[in-house]
Amino acid sequence: MFKTLKRLGAYMGRRKWLLPCSVGLSAVNGLLSLVPFILLWLVVRMLLTAEHDLADTPLWDYALAAFIVSVTNVLLYFAALILSHLAAFRIETNMRRKAMQRLMRVPLGFFDTQNTGRMRKIIDEDSGQTHTFVAHLLPDVASCVVAPIGVIVLLFSVDWQLGAAAMIPLIGAIGIMDI
């Protein structure tokens, strides 16, 4: 995969920074997606352990913080997708441009032996398939890798015994999967 990213980076020109920023923002988004659950846990714990008066508790502060973090999370993901789409469009455009420049230099006999519809498909549609990989899959993979790691760290930081008990079914599920 790193080899593919390096090859795609050659088509990005001076905008190589877009893709790492997008992946980084998406990873932060994956971690921030856990914060509202932590705040919800604090609210539930406070409701269950409060004696009588809830007016002196920071319930509304937790609820407001959960709302702000959720909105920030959506905005971060939106920014990550904007950056990844800008990178994907740059890659697609430069791939098509480079392919057309190469076609302009081939001998005319080349076109007698090649199917033009096939060449158009390779240049147009196949370079467009990089869009899905760069604009959608890379940011989503970053978020999908970081979030479970964050959950595991969170489980062990709350209670190491609970974390260890939660890992048993996870390891069992990974063990029965066909990878």
Domain boundaries, the chain: 2-146
Residue carrying the six token digits 């539930």: 44
pLDDT of residue 179: 61
pLDDT of residue 64: 92
pLDDT of residue 15: 85
- Fold classification of 2-146 is ABC transporter transmembrane region fold (1.20.1560)
The DSSP secondary structure of 12-51, one letter per residue, reads: TGGGTTHHHHHHHHHHHHHHHTTHHHHHHHHHHHHHHH--
Contact call for residues 86 and 18 (beta carbons, < 8 A)? yes
pLDDT of residue 108: 80
Percent of the chain with pLDDT over 90: 34
pLDDT of residue 1: 65
pLDDT of residue 95: 85
| Residue segments in the chain with a per-residue pLDDT below the cut of 70 | 1, 179
What is the value of pTM for the model shown?
0.79
- As a dihedral over the C-alpha atoms of residue 104, residue 109, residue 114, residue 116, rounded to 10 degrees, the angle is 50
